[in-house]
């Protein structure tokens, strides 16, 4: 049986350094050399998953095919690699303690005192190991498992996970485990100097736990000098060749894998893991960067939502838009507009220079009326409009009010007593009180309807998309909508649920119940996003 290799990625000094992008880039580099990888995100929070967390606090919830509500970094993993991740790829403190306590209640520990070591750490290691992919006959397919440990070294919450990582060296042998530590080298403006001391202290924290990092990725705003590299090597006991300056990237996060490759990161990793230095195949990445750096046009795209103040709240939406921009050879100027501030008095000023409008998903009544105004403006002014999940509900509500004349039309979510609930709860959702993991989640098959823009985008009838919702289009109003040119363009396979609607006679007015952003890739933009940007480009040239 072959030895499986493990790469643990940790972070120090401060949060938000980009461990997710670093881990994703390592995954891309290992795949480029022909290695089969698995990826795992370990999050120290006590929530069992990210499903009930506020987007303002934790960013978007990324949904996998099997319906897991996970950290947004799993989205990065899927975008940078060929992986299709699952619930197994997201591990939290809440999951670990829940499963250990369940075993204790069943008597699985035979009366032993259940402790952090070995019971919690053993469960962490078990969850990491089950991400290894195997064939139907039991052959191990995975060569390398990449584990991103959330949080910052020194946080009390991360200690059990770091201890479990340390134990891997004992369990599988040091030659099969390496530690990549991401740190910050800050600039002290008053002194005009870059300081390595925070990195030294961060490595010292790791060493106190029993982990000596093999590789340092140092976030820095300019190229590291040889003197700095020597100093860091001296105080951290990490070889100079294994100290990589992760300089801020100018154009796009998709430059990071190539940047790391050119600085020798792949070779350092493979040598330390005692793996063959297979030839690297990164042509598609270089071609992508060439496209990104040399656009033929520029577009103004408005994303109108209520979580606008946090970049990560709509992370996958922004990335999917950019992917579509790459395919259409345009640079997108994404204007983030808070729907709470949208009024009939200022809407023209805010949107008159916009070439395309997107309303993303979300929950709750705050900012809804601003979104309804936005949909009306897009419809009346023939501006390409793309609604996702809540964005579909908005499109339906607006049309019911202003075209069908149902002035009180609303969603049951926003007005439980409305006489015209054009959006209502899924039948199985009507009386559910628990919030976490209770929605319609994961990948479902649907069918597009011929002679619609949606069908033309996909160029096929049967599609598979990821969902995350508990409300739906109310079929009692379907006939009235279609008589007035709001067309149903996609349904579930049994035709019971409406999956998409579109404005008839409009250049591009499509709204979908599912979340296409979760399946978009930098090398393969999602078809709806691609056609939305194409339509926006046409609109921009006309205006």
Catalytic entry in 469, 515, 526, 539: 515
3-state secondary structure 474-523: CHHHHHHHHHCCEEEEEEECCCCCEEEEEECCCCCEEEECCCHHHHCECC
CA distances from 386 to 112, 370, 393, 455 (A): 57, 16, 12, 15
**Rounded-to-integer distance, Cα 386 and Cα 526, Å:** 13
The contacts of residue 136 (CB under 8 Å, 6+ apart) are none
Q: Where do we find the tokens 């990625």?
A: 9
Catalytic entry in 465, 517, 526, 531: 517
The contacts of residue 465 (CB under 8 Å, 6+ apart) are 443, 444, 446, 499, 512, 514, 515, 516, 519
Would residue 445 show up in a list of annotated catalytic residues for this protein? no
Task: Please check whether residue 223 is in contact with residue 244, taking contact to mean a CB–CB distance below 8 angstroms.
Answer: no
The contacts of residue 368 (CB under 8 Å, 6+ apart) are 339, 394, 414
**Rounded-to-integer distance, Cα 67 and Cα 292, Å:** 32
Angle between helices 197-209 and 159-172 (to 10 degrees): 60
C-alpha closest to that of 3 among 168, 244, 209? 168
**Rounded-to-integer distance, Cα 302 and Cα 358, Å:** 6
Written as six digits, the tokens of 216 are 């340092």
Cβ neighbourhood burial of 381 (10 Å; 0-12, 13-18, 19+): middle
**Rounded-to-integer distance, Cα 193 and Cα 211, Å:** 29
Task: Please check whether residue 71 is in contact with residue 90, taking contact to mean a CB–CB distance below 8 angstroms.
Answer: yes
3-state secondary structure 34-52: CCCEEEEEEECCCCCCCCC
Would residue 517 show up in a list of annotated catalytic residues for this protein? yes
CB atoms within 10 A of CB 191: 8
**Rounded-to-integer distance, Cα 319 and Cα 474, Å:** 31
Active site residue ranges: 389, 515, 517
């Amino acid at each position: 049986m072959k030895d499986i290799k493990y790469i643990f990625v940790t972070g120090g000094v401060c949060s938000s350094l980009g461990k997710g992008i670093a881990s994703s880039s390592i995954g891309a580099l290992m795949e480029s050399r022909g290695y089969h990888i698995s990826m795992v995100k370990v999050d120290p929070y006590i929530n069992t998953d990210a499903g009930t967390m506020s987007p303002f606090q934790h960013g978007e919830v990324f949904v996998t095919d099997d319906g897991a509500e996970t950290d947004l970094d799993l989205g990065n993993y899927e975008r940078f690699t060929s992986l299709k991740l699952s619930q197994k790829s997201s591990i939290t403190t809440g999951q670990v303690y829940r499963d250990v306590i369940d075993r204790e209640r069943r008597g699985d520990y035979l009366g032993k005192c259940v402790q952090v070591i070995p019971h919690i750490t053993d469960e962490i290691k078990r969850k990491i190991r089950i991400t290894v992919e195997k064939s139907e006959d039991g052959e191990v397919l995975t060569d390398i498992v990449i584990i991103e440990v959330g949080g910052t070294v020194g946080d009390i919450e991360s200690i059990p996970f770091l201890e479990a990582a340390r134990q891997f060296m004992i369990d599988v042998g040091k030659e099969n485990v390496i530690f990549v530590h991401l740190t910050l080298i800050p600039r002290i403006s008053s002194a005009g100097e870059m300081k390595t001391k925070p990195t030294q202290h961060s490595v010292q924290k790791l060493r106190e736990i029993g982990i000596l990092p093999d590789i340092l990725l140092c976030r820095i705003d300019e190229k590291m000098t040889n003197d700095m590299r020597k100093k860091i090597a001296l105080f951290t006991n990490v070889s100079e060749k294994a100290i990589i300056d992760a300089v801020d990237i100018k154009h796009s996060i998709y430059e990071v894998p190539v940047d790391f490759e050119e600085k020798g990161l792949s070779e350092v990793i493979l040598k330390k893991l005692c793996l063959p230095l297979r030839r690297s195949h990164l042509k598609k990445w270089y071609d992508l960067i060439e496209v990104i750096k040399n656009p033929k046009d520029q577009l103004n795209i408005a994303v109108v939502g209520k979580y606008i103040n946090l970049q990560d709240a709509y992370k996958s939406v922004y990335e999917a838009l950019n992917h579509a921009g790459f395919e259409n050879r345009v640079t997108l100027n994404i204007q983030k507009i808070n729907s709470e501030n949208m009024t009939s008095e200022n809407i023209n000023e805010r949107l008159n220079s916009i070439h395309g409008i997107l309303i993303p998903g979300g929950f709750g009544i705050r900012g809804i009326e601003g979104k309804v105004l936005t949909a009306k403006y897009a419809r009346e002014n023939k501006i390409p409009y793309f609604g996702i999940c809540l964005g579909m509900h908005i499109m339906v509500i607006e049309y019911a009010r202003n075209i069908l004349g149902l002035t009180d039309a609303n969603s049951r979510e926003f007005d439980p007593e409305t006489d015209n609930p054009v959006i209502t709860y899924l039948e199985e959702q009507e009386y559910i009180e628990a919030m976490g993991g209770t929605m319609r989640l994961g990948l479902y098959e649907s069918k597009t309807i011929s002679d619609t823009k949606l069908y033309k985008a996909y160029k096929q009838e049967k599609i598979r998309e990821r969902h995350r919702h508990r409300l739906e289009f109310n079929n009692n109003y379907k006939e009235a909508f279609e008589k007035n040119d709001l067309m149903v363009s996609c349904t579930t396979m049994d035709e019971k649920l409406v999956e998409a609607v579109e404005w008839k006679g409009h250049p591009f007015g499509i709204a979908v119940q599912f979340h296409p952003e979760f399946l978009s890739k930098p090398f393969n933009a999602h078809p709806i996003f691609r056609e939305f940007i194409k339509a926006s480009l046409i609109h921009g040239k006309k205006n």
